[in-house]
Amino acid sequence: MCEAVVQAYGRLTAMSENHGQMRDVRRFLRENPQVLVLLLICLILGLGTFLIVLFGIASSGPRSHLTGEPSGSIALSHGVTSTAVW
């Protein structure tokens, strides 16, 4: 019985410490809103990049005819851009 009370008290103490830490984070973000904006931008861009990579991998699929050789699309785009400049 005493061990259960001690464990429950330990859990309550840990929850109280976590609540205090979250309160500190909220206070910091309220005092520095630019940090919150930067954090949101990084999260959105990171999630978007992750999803793009996943979609790229999924859309490539298993193809047996890929040899790793360039397809010529880079040379074609270079030719188009070089003629557009001149």
Instruction: Indicate if the pLDDT at residue 12 is higher than 60.
Output: no
- The pLDDT tens digits of the residues spanning 52-77 come to 988 887 777 666 566 666 666 667 66
* pLDDT given at position 56: 82
* pLDDT given at position 55: 85
Q: Supply 2's token pair.
A: 């005493």
Contact 12, 5 (CB under 8 A): no
Task: Record the pTM.
Answer: 0.48
CA-atom Rg of the chain in angstroms: 27
Task: Give the residue, 65 or 78, on which the prediction is more confident.
Answer: 78
Question: What DSSP character marks residue 70?
Answer: -
> What is the C-alpha separation between 86 and 80, in angstroms, rounded?
10
Instruction: Indicate if the pLDDT at residue 30 is higher than 80.
Output: yes
